[in-house]
Chains A and B, each alone.
Chain A
Amino acid sequence: MVGPAMPAVAIHELRKRFPRTTALDGLSFTVQAGEVVGLLGANGAGKTTTLHILLGLILPSGGRVEVFGQAPRANRKAALRRVGFASPEALMDWRLTVAENLRVFAGLYGVRREAVERMIERFELGPMAEQPFGELSLGQQTRAGLARALLHDHDLLVLDEPTASLDPDIADKTRQLLLRVRRERGLAILYSSHNMTEVEDVCDRVVFVHHGRVVAEGTPLAVSRQVLGSDALDAASMEEVFLKISRDGVA
């Protein structure tokens, strides 16, 4: 049983050294249950490495990672059963149909087949449910990927640039869908993105990462004040925050 104060994600002094580079250098942040947190930073800042450690795909060199109090490496099943993950890099089998792929993942997450029908309906995938996944457009693949990520009744959704490569219309629809799911399920979302409009729309809090360390953290408004000294909050100001941190490195 998880207590009410248990954070969805707790990352403390996380370090990751690869043979040629240090990706994470003492990264710490938390995501509370029901909170949407944007994980931001330039390419190579350490965002995807953080997400992959969280998902048990990479071993950390040091520090602590917990998903609802469970270490993903030591308690893989217990930790990952509560997590949904979507990314344009995380695809499904291109030869199987959308419905077949979703049935396979329903089995992996131990959910009933009815969940597949529900997700197909909710993500308006009906007309393409019997098409091979590889024949879908990028936007349709993203929707199918989100349907897969939301198949089971989890508590945390990890999204790695979910709207990258989508046109603005589809990206907006995807954002609205995520917000609706969040409202209905009250789940925590850890959201990595380069799209500042999206961040400003979706996130309760943002964590800026630079060279594997957290350099700014708070609500988008608080971070904008801290970095730019400005009370204005819009996509343009978040863009400025992003550029300042990426170029100067410190908030």
Chain B
Amino acid sequence: MRRRVGALLLRYLLLIRRDYSRVVDLAYWPLLDIVVWGLFTFFLWRAQMQVPNVLAMLLGGAILWNVFLRAAQDVSVCFLDDVWARSVVTIFASPLTFAEFGAAVMLVGLVKVVIALAVMGLAAWVLYAFHLTVLGWALVPFAGNLVLFGWTLGLVAFAIILRFGGRWQILAWSLPFVVMPVSCVFYPLAVLPPALQAVARAMPATHVFEGMRAVLLEQRMAWDQLAWACALNLCYLALAGALVALALRIALERGLLPKIR
């Protein structure tokens, strides 16, 4: 199993070297986020708007948002790589199991998260003297929960593409942005209308970003937020796994796998 997962991991990592759009995804967009949000923070300072710890909140939000985005997009984009290369049949006619494929694409997401985190952390430190370590060890469980929620959305997009075909590939990129407004990345939950607050509370990402703000503004670890994020993630990840299993079953029964374009 390790060897097959390692082989797929090698394939997707080799692609970073061969396909410059991957470098843009990994370095340029995260860097751009840091530059834009950093400059926006300067604007708020100059306008003398009294938002406490605004640099840390916005840059911390931008960095953690990119963690979530990378994890969410890579699960389904890795599968789309095979769809575009017309190598779905070649890959799945090998002894690779579907679970191993899933493990490999989630690992790819994790590797890219680490790379993006390093790029953004370095840029924030060099450009704005912002240290990611300001979040302390809380960064680990918060980022971990965002990776889990990212995987969940990635699996949902993967299941839909598997079942309904490549014409749904837009979901691979857009699904994270669908939940962004109710994930409270750059603003607190309290600013949302009451109806949307209920929806936002159902998002693990909301609890992570609320927890991040508690660390930055109140210097306390929000255990309740972390517990909510973990519990919701476990439920959603299990549901996403079941959805993928169902989509796979339908794809195998209807012969969709060899036909996917």
Interface on A for B, CB 8 Å cutoff? 16, 18-19, 23, 48-49, 52, 55-59, 76-77, 80-81, 83, 85, 87, 89-97, 100, 103-110, 132, 148
Within 8 A of A (CB), among B205-261: 249, 252-255, 257-258
Main secondary structure of the interface of B (DSSP, over half): helix
Knowing A91-B86, A148-B90, the reply to whether A104 touches B95 (Cβ < 8 A) is no
Knowing A58-B252, A90-B90, the reply to whether A107 touches B4 (Cβ < 8 A) is yes
Q: Which residue of B lies closest to A104 (CB)?
A: B11
Knowing A77-B95, A80-B94, A108-B94, the reply to whether A89 touches B10 (Cβ < 8 A) is no
Task: Please give, as numbers and ranges, the residues of chain B lying within 8 Å of A96 by CB-CB distance.
Answer: 11, 14-15, 18
Within 8 A of A (CB), among B94-143: 94-97
Q: How many residues of B contact A (CB 8 A)?
A: 32
User: Does the CB pair A104–B7 fall under 8 Å?
Assistant: yes
User: Does the CB pair A109–B14 fall under 8 Å?
Assistant: no
- Please list 7 pairs of residues, one from A and one from B, whose beta carbons are closer than 8 Å in the complex, sorted by A's number: A57-B93, A58-B252, A77-B95, A90-B87, A95-B19, A108-B8, A109-B95
- The CA-CA distance from A6 to B131 in the complex, in Å, is 65
Give the 8 A-B residue pairs with the shortest CB-CB distance, closest first: A107-B7, A90-B90, A104-B11, A55-B93, A108-B94, A90-B89, A95-B18, A85-B93
User: Does the CB pair B14–A100 fall under 8 Å?
Assistant: yes
Task: Please give, as numbers and ranges, the residues of chain A lying within 8 Å of B249 by CB-CB distance.
Answer: 59
User: Does the CB pair A89–B86 fall under 8 Å?
Assistant: yes
Task: Please give, as numbers and ranges, the residues of chain A lying within 8 Å of B92 by CB-CB distance.
Answer: 55-57
Q: Which residue of A lies closest to B255 (CB)?
A: A58
- The CA-CA distance from A96 to B85 in the complex, in Å, is 10
Q: Which residue of A lies closest to B11 (CB)?
A: A104
Given contacts A105-B7, A108-B94, 5 further A-B contacts (CB under 8 A): A18-B255, A55-B89, A85-B89, A108-B7, A108-B91
- The CA-CA distance from A97 to B18 in the complex, in Å, is 9
Task: Please give, as numbers and ranges, the residues of chain B lying within 8 Å of A100 by CB-CB distance.
Answer: 11, 14, 18
- The CA-CA distance from A187 to B201 in the complex, in Å, is 60
- The CA-CA distance from A93 to B80 in the complex, in Å, is 11
- The CA-CA distance from A105 to B4 in the complex, in Å, is 9
- The CA-CA distance from A105 to B252 in the complex, in Å, is 23
Knowing A55-B93, A90-B89, the reply to whether A132 touches B18 (Cβ < 8 A) is yes
Task: Please give, as numbers and ranges, the residues of chain B lying within 8 Å of A95 by CB-CB distance.
Answer: 15, 18-19, 85
